[in-house]
Amino acid sequence: MAKKVLKFGGTSVGTVERIQHVASIVKKELLDGNNLVVIVSAMAGQTNELIKLSNEISDKFNKRELDVLLSSGEQVTSALLAGALIELNIKAKSLLSWQIPILTEGQHSNARIINMSVEKINKYLSEEGVVIIPGFQGISKSAEVTTIGRGGSDATAVAVAKILNADTCEIYTDVDGVYSTDPNKIPVAKKIDKISYDEMLELSSLGAKVMQSSAVQTAMMYDVPLEVKSTFTERKGTKIFNQENIDYSKSVTGVAYSKDDAKITLIGVEDRPGVAANIFEPLSKAQINVDMVIQNISSDQKTTDVTFTVKRDDVAKTKGILKEKSEITYKDIIQNDKVAKISIVGAGMVSTPGITYKMFRALSDERINILAISTSEIKISVIIDEDKTLDAVKKLHTIFDLD
């Protein structure tokens, strides 16, 4: 008898009919002899509606109360799914985070799960019952309701699977697995049957929205087997494995892209020790994530141009911080928020020479100018003009035999 954690995303539980369909999937898994813990997201669009309500009260809505408000979405789904299972004559019970409890630490809206009591869950499983847990939330040591960031139900599922020593964690969504790129934009994209944690972590952090990157990272740290499956078809999904299962024979596994980046350049920065720290330290303290960084030193070696990327939502905040800091001197600041980040990911890149050249030549053939470059062992990312995004993705998808 396997112990499974099943997680169902917002689209999977978006309507009462879909919740009833999820109940039928859970019933089938139970009849197959599995012990089941089910993690659910809020119904599709519900979290946005709750945020909208908070904004009508105040654009600086209290963060403690916001966590109380937003956590209600998943609680609604938990009760509805438990009720749907009971209607199918399945023993089922929703357990809220404070009832278990699921312990978190960190700030409101950005907490993380650190532990969980297993007694109530294991007792109910031993009685052949199904436990339904709302994702995305927990309770702090001071008994405050906390949430763990948008998309946090994936992280809840992985944490629960780890603490319960589950045999597998299955992530149900509206697609039947992980694809080589966005199948909605590139119809020739193909489903990946197996992928490593490392590759999945890169793809999810680069814009692939199948799984939350922090959940993949937790699964990788604790070797929790994952599978991404579709709620709406019975096709096999994508299995996500540890390092030993990387397919080094394939140089590139997928192409990811995101359109929420912006490029900022500081012109004529004084070239001396500590300048980079002065630029990026206040951004870090303001919780602004800096991605690519490029520095070009002038011929007289007295000034430099510093280019970096941030999320578009952070552009105004970033420029405001840089203009306020008197210790940061520069001639001008330029922004470009009409850019996109294109990335190729693949474990085989480590052992395959010429990948960088092949990527750059392919983009050159399409007359696509590269504005910034970032690399790691299994990833190459470039910033390009946003209007060339699909042209770049299609070309790279073809050139690396992913069609």
Specify the CATH number for the domain of residue 87.
Answer: 3.40.1160.10
Residue 63 CA, distance from chain mean position: 22
Within-domain flag for 286: no
Residue 22: both structure tokens together:
């999820």
pLDDT digits (tens, 9 = 90+) for 184-201: 888 888 888 888 888 888
The tokens describing 355, both together, are: 């990948």
Amino acid residing at 39:
I
pLDDT of residue 181: 87
* pLDDT on residue 66: 96
User: CA 195, CA 246: separation in Å to the nearest integer?
Assistant: 7
Residue 332: both structure tokens together: 């001008």
pLDDT at 300: 66
Residue 33 in domain = yes
Give yes or no for residue 298 having a pLDDT over 70. no
- CB atoms near residue 242 (< 10 Å): 14
According to the 3-state scheme, what is the secondary structure of 48-104?
A: HHHHHHHHHHCCCCCHHHHHHHHHHHHHHHHHHHHHHHHHCCCCEEECCCCCCCEEE
Dihedral over Cα of 148, 154, 158, 161: its sign = positive
pLDDT of residue 297: 75
- Sheet with 254-258, side-by-side order of all strands: 254-258, 339-345, 379-385, 372-376
State pLDDT tens for residues 45-78. Answer: 999 999 999 999 998 999 999 999 999 999 999 9
Beta strands across the sheet bearing 130-134: 92-94, 130-134, 35-40, 3-8, 168-173, 226-230, 238-241, 194-196
CB 269 within 8 A of CB 305: yes
171 phi and psi angles, rounded to 5 deg: -100, 110
Q: 394 in a domain, yes or no?
A: no
Take residue 380 and report the two structure tokens written for it.
């190459």
Omega of the bond prior to 353 within 30 degrees of 0, cis?
no
> Can you tell me the distance from the alpha carbon of 212 to that of 194, in angstroms, rounded to the nearest whole number?
18
Beta-carbon contacts of 255 under 8 Å, excluding residues fewer than 6 positions away, are 180, 181, 342, 343, 344, 345, 393, 396, 397, 400, 402
Distance CA 403, CA 389 (A): 17
Say how many residues make up the chain: 403
pLDDT band at 232 (very low <50, low <70, confident <90, very high): very high
Instruction: Examine the pLDDT at 350 and tell me if it is beyond 80.
Output: no
pLDDT at res. 329: 83
CA distances 84 to 15, 81, 87, Å, are 12, 5, 5
SS3 state of residue 87: helix
In this prediction, residues 350-364 reach a mean pLDDT of 90
Instruction: Give the tokens for residue 17.
Output: 């009919």
What are the tens digits of pLDDT across the range 22-50? 999 999 999 999 999 999 999 999 999 99
Residue 164 — very low, low, confident or very high, per pLDDT cuts 50/70/90? Answer: very high
Could you tell me if 397 and 389 are in contact, meaning their C-beta atoms sit under 8 angstroms apart?
no
Closest CA to 391 of 349, 357, 340, 345: 340
Residue 269 within a domain: no
Identify the bridge partners of residue 240 per DSSP, sorted by sequence position: 195, 226
Domain-located, residue 223? no
Taking only the tens place, the pLDDT of each residue in 78-122 is: 999 999 999 999 999 999 999 999 999 999 998 999 999 999 999
Rounded Cα distance, 36 and 370, in Å = 48
Question: Could you give the C-alpha distances from 173 to 7, 9, 105, 193, 230, in angstroms and in order?
Answer: 8, 6, 28, 16, 5
> Residue 102 falls within a domain, yes or no?
yes
Residue 248 pLDDT level (bands cut at 50, 70, 90): low
Is residue 147 within 8 A of residue 368, CB to CB? The reply is: no
The range of the structural domain enclosing residue 52 comes to: 3-174
Q: Structural domain tally of the chain?
A: 1
Q: Residue 261 falls within a domain, yes or no?
A: no
Give the model's pLDDT for residue 361: 95
- Asked whether residue 214 is assigned to any structural domain, the reply reads no
Residue 34: which residues within 8 A CB-CB, separation 6 or more? 1, 2, 3, 4
For 224, list phi and psi in degrees, rounded to 5.
-90, 115
